[in-house]
Chains A and B, each alone.
Chain A
Amino acid sequence: MKTKHNSNFRYRLKYSRTGVPTWIGHLDLMRTFQYSCKRAKLPLAFTQGYNPRPIMEFALPVGVGIETRTDPLDLELIEKMPAQVIMNQLNMKLPQGLQIETAFYLEFPEKNLMSLVEAAAYTIIADNLGVATEKVILANDHDLVVERIRKGKKRQYNLRELILDLQVITQNQIKFLCKAGSIANLRPDMLLKALYEAEEITKINALDAIIIRDQVFLKNEKLSY
């Protein structure tokens, strides 16, 4: 099995981001990875055109202010090399806060990593978050509707339909599993919005939260977190 770039070799890397890179947008993150891969002198496969870019695919865009722990990203090389070596070489050239945690070669690569995403697991830490979640989400089964303006259109989301599982860890910390990907996707800030709109936590506490994407689950992966 080959990708559309016939002779290329595809690797799946899982990266974490903490600290400063948490505060950049998805486009800047891609850009930063592109520059880092070039610095690492990997035998990169490039796109065609006037501005050749390394061929790289992210599973799920990550919003500004969200840390990650093991987000998947696929990278294509024109030479085969040990995944461990790719990881080590790249880690030496990534800016502080970005790190590759695991890497492996894809024997049977599938195109379009994004379409494989099914779910994601998050941890959120904020003052009084656990207590508020207990009250607003766990203690009843009402619809949890949040409005969001997207591309100029108002859209309503029922968060309950998107949350697959939710646990309160401490009075300030929760973790949950939710639908993710291009078809149905829960943004963690929508959950926080539902909580401060219910006036169970303050807006400042919600905005001050630490949000971590612990895992992204692809098709056929076991949803354990």
Chain B
Amino acid sequence: MLNKSQNLFYPNYVLRQVEKPAQYLGYEWNMIDKSKLMDHGQLEVPMIRFGFCFPDIYEIGMSNMALRIIYNLLNSRADTWCERVFSPAADMREFMQELKIPLVALESKTPLNQFDIVGFTLQYEMSFPTILDMLNLGNIPIHNSARSNRDPLIMAGGPIVYNPEPLADFIDLFMIGDGEDLLGEIIDLYKTWDRKSESRESFLLRCTKLEGVYVPCFYEPEYYPDGKFKKNKKLYSIVPDIIKKRVVKDLDQTFFPTEPIVPNTQIVHDRAYLELFRGCPRGCRFCQAGMIYRPVRERTVDLLVEQAKHLIESTGYGELGLLSLSTGDYSELKQLGNYLLDYCAEQNVSLSLPSLRLDSFSFDLMSKAGQTRKSGLTFAPEAGSQRLRDIINKDIRESDLLEAARIAFNGGWNRLKFYFMLGLPFENTDDVFSIPELAKKVLQVYADLPSEHRKRKPQLTISTSFFIPKAWTPFQWCSQIDQAQMLEKRRILIENMRLRTINYQWHEPDMSVVQGFIARGDRKIGKVIEEVWCDGGWLESWNELFNYERWEKAMNKYNLSIDYYTSRQRSDDEAFPWDHISCGVSKEFLWSEYLKAESGELTAECREQCHQCGALQFMTGLCATHEN
């Protein structure tokens, strides 16, 4: 009677010695527990056990939209129980190793190796060593070639699956594109796999018939004698030459979780989310998301409003966020914004707006939402000079920015944040200097205001990250700058922004280099990831655990040149390790965009004109409104 400690799994003395112990315990509001269904033998067919793995710790993973969608989507099936698995933090990981506690799912505390299917979501490159670590903690062989019929099927999907090659030795099956329909098809097929009589290979071969499924062990890369990638060779004639991404055609008809889990502890993004649309009409040339999520597909206002109500009622959250790649481009933003503002005010919920377009309506909306006062306003010009903004196709004029700053200062927002990238293709020293110049112009805007509008001193945050060329963007051919260049550019900014009103934040160069060679890596990079993990790297996305020397050592061990992957400019006829994957956008379109970048020519957004990028083949969303 005294100890009602149900389902805790870990001993109290462990829970008392780790930070945020509740992250390992589950049993949050809206968690789905199908154990009783299984205990009582009410099932005619066995329940498919799906372990959804997020290769980072709880507070990061629980904030992720893919997790929220897939968790509730799979659990809406009577024949499937999807549970969550996260990486432990360092303190808990030590206890697990010492006490031989395997990695388990939060819901049933079932060890990872007892699941039917284990699915990883790929959100950022630095999480790749964490995937190996989680497999290992879950007692699953990290190599796909070492797995037997007793081991779970290991899948992966998500935004950075468009270059899956660095993980080709570890993952059985990749899902390319939107997972909502494909996941169900894979589970249906999985149910036909008799593990006693059919080999793993034979089952995986059957999976390749599903559009959007990539099984890497059926392809073998070929290299030129100098080690350069030549092409991918199919090992069986029946597997597809090109694996085309899946697209959900009608977002209104696509599952969306209105009863997400409400963690007992605070997570990074502790709020309810609406997904307004997928895809982005803008076509910024550095942006991978803008290419791979095409075409733009919107949810209708009526459905979003209904979902907002359901979300707030089911969670009790005090904050509602709007999710999309560019919320200001939602076609009915005015109607939706006005409705949500009223609803949120009535419910004592604050509406959290992402950085919007710089027009007056956006300011009106933000002003009414009120919440932005505490966090300040964020602008993302990405580049300091007009020349460079034209090159990357970021359609923001300096006059727009300064006008927006003026409205912001007038409206009482004294804290402004500006995001820039350093090391963009074709960047010169003047472009770098233009960042502090722009910052000073913004401060001048404040100084020019009438004194009654200058009550609070302005505080500018200038934040820079280093540009990393990504697969499936017009800049996939481009050279990434090396550490020395990164440091030099950063030095210029530090020296030219020594003002008390400017706070300069930057990213560390070393991690950008590692992200760079993974992002455009081939299969050989898999060995490097494995080596780094063997050498003790497991949560490399965390600055305090990341260790560049480990990566450098691993690259040297396999005789791989970092420059080959990062700073080398590719020629137009180069074959890429990701050429057999297709996000719908053609390599020809990307190359034409690269050439336009070179000459500083803008490409109008999709709504104005179709540029024949290739996404038209999906015949849906914004593309379906074009005639040809």
Contacts of A18 in B (CB 8 A): 4-6
Indicate with 1 or 0, residue by residue over B32-50, a CB within 8 angstroms of chain A CB atoms: 0000000000000000000
Residues of chain A having any CB pair with chain B under 8 Å? 18-25, 27-28, 31-32, 34-39, 41, 44, 46, 50-53, 64-65, 93, 95-97, 123, 125, 204-205, 207-210, 212
Which 3 pairs, one residue from A and one from B, show the smallest C-beta to C-beta distance? Answer: A35-B316, A38-B316, A207-B13
A51-B371, A65-B12, A210-B12 known; A125-B2 Cβ under 8 A: yes
Measured between alpha carbons, how far is A96 from B348 in the docked complex, in Å? 25
A-B contact pairs, 10 of them (CB 8 A): A23-B15, A31-B266, A35-B315, A38-B316, A39-B314, A46-B348, A50-B374, A123-B2, A125-B3, A212-B2
Give the interface segment out of B18-26, B392-400, B467-475: B18-26
A22-B5 in contact given A28-B266, A50-B374, A51-B371 (Cβ < 8 Å) = yes
Write out the residue numbers on chain B whose beta carbons fall within 8 Å of the beta carbon of A93. 29, 316
Assuming the A-B contacts A23-B22, A35-B262, are A204 and B13 also in contact, with contact meaning beta carbons closer than 8 angstroms in the complex?
yes
Complex interface: chain B residues within 8 A of A95 (CB): 27-29, 262, 264
- Measured between beta carbons, the chain A residues less than 8 angstroms from B27 are 19-20, 95-97
Q: Tell me the complex Cα distance, A220–B175, Å.
A: 65
Within 8 A of A (CB), among B298-326: 312-319
CB distance from A107 to the nearest CB of B (A): 27
Instruction: Check: B497 CB closer than 8 A to any chain A CB.
Output: no
A65 vs B25: C-alpha distance when bound (angstroms): 13
**In whole Å, how far is A51's beta carbon from the nearest beta carbon of chain B?**
6
Chain A residues, Cβ within 8 Å of B15? 23, 65
B225 within 8 A of A: no
Is B11 an interface position by the 8 A CB rule?
Answer: yes
Report which of A21, A34, A64, A204 forms a contact with B318, defined as CB distance below 8 A: A34
- In the assembled complex, which residues on chain A have CB atoms less than 8 Å from the CB atom of B97? none
The smallest beta-carbon distance between B350 and chain A, in angstroms, is 6
With known contacts A23-B22, A207-B13, A38–B4 Cβ distance under 8 A: no
Choose among B22, B28, B316 the residue that contacts A34 (Cβ–Cβ < 8 A).
Answer: B316
Contact residue among A20, A34, A41, A207 (Cβ-Cβ distance under 8 Å from B264): A20
Q: Which residue of A25, A31, A205 has the most chain B CB atoms within 10 A of its CB atom?
A: A31
The reply to whether the CB of B16 lies closer than 8 angstroms to some CB of chain A is: yes
Contacts of B411 in A (CB 8 A): none
Please judge, given known A-B contacts A19-B27, A95-B28, whether A37 and B370 are in contact too, CB under 8 Å. Answer: no
| Residues A210 and B3 in contact, CB atoms below 8 Å apart | yes
Decide if B12 touches A209 in the complex (CB within 8 Å).
Answer: yes
Are the CB atoms of A50 and B315 closer together than 8 Å? no
B residues in contact with A64, CB < 8 Å: 16, 21
Q: Assess the A28–B265 pair: CB atoms within 8 A.
A: yes
* Distance, CA A102 to CA B5, complexed state (A): 21
Q: Which chain A residues border B371 with CB–CB below 8 Å?
A: 50-51
Closest CB in chain A relative to B36 CB, distance in Å: 13
Asked if A19 and B7 make an inter-chain contact with CB atoms under 8 angstroms apart, the answer reads yes
**A39-B316, A95-B29 known; A210 vs B2 contact (CB < 8 Å):** yes
What is the minimal beta-carbon distance from B366 to any residue of chain A, in angstroms?
12
Q: Determine the main DSSP class of B at the interface with A.
A: loop
Nearest chain A CB to B522 CB, angstrom units: 44
Interface string of B404-429 (1 = CB under 8 A from A): 00000000000000000000000000
- Decide: A23 and B25 in contact? CB cutoff 8 A: yes
Chain A residues within 8 Å of B16, by CB: 64-65, 207-208
Alpha-carbon distance A37/B29, docked complex (angstroms): 13
Asked if B373 CB lies within 8 Å of chain A CBs, one says yes
Tell me if B569 counts as interface (CB < 8 A to partner A). Answer: no
Decide yes or no whether B239 CB sits under 8 A from chain A.
no
B373 touches A50 (CB 8 A): yes
B17 within 8 A of A: yes
Q: CB within 8 Å of A: which of B131-146?
A: none
Q: Which residues of A contact B312 (CB under 8 A)?
A: 38
Tell me the minimal C-beta distance from A5 to chain B in angstroms. 14
Give complex CA distance A28, B59 in Å. Answer: 13
Q: Smallest distance from the beta carbon of B113 to chain A beta carbons, Å?
A: 24
A38 touches which of B3, B22, B25, B318 (Cβ 8 Å): B318
Contact status B13-A52, CB under 8 Å: no
Q: How far is the CA of A11 from the CA of B350 in the complex (A)?
A: 26
The CA of A52 and the CA of B370, in the complex, are separated in Å by: 12
Q: In whole angstroms, what is the CA distance A21 to B264 when docked?
A: 7
User: In the complex, which residues 38-73 of chain B have their Cβ closer than 8 Å to any Cβ of chain A?
Assistant: none
In the assembled complex, B514 has its CB within 8 A of some CB on chain A: no
Q: Say yes or no: A39-B315 contact (C-beta < 8 A), given A27-B266, A50-B370, A210-B2.
A: yes
- B6: nearest chain-A partner, CB-CB: A19
| B26 neighbours in A (Cβ, 8 Å) | 20
Write the chain B residue with the least CB distance to A21. B264
Interface residue? B287 (CB, 8 A): no
* Complex Cα gap A24–B263 (Å): 11
CB closest residue in chain A, given B348: A52
B372-394 with Cβ < 8 A to chain A: 373-374
Given known contacts A18-B4, A19-B8, is B265 in contact with A24 (CB within 8 Å)?
yes
CA distance A97 to B25 in the complex (A): 12
Type the 1/0 row for B238-277, where 1 means its CB is closer than 8 Å to any CB of A: 0000000000000000000000001011100000000000
Q: A39-B314, A44-B348 are in contact. List 11 more A-B contacts (CB 8 A).
A: A19-B5, A20-B8, A21-B264, A28-B265, A35-B29, A37-B316, A41-B313, A50-B374, A65-B16, A93-B316, A208-B12
Identity of the chain B residue whose Cβ is nearest the Cβ of A63 in the assembled complex: B16
B265 surroundings in chain A (CB, below 8 A): 24-25, 28
Closest CB in chain A relative to B367 CB, distance in Å: 12
Partner of A35, one of B22, B317, B370: B317
Q: Which residues of A contact B8 (CB under 8 A)?
A: 19-20, 23
Shortest Cβ distance from A178 into chain B, in angstroms?
19
Q: A95-B28, A125-B3, A207-B12 are in contact. Are A23 and B21 (CB under 8 A)?
A: yes
Q: Which residue of A lies closest to B312 (CB)?
A: A38
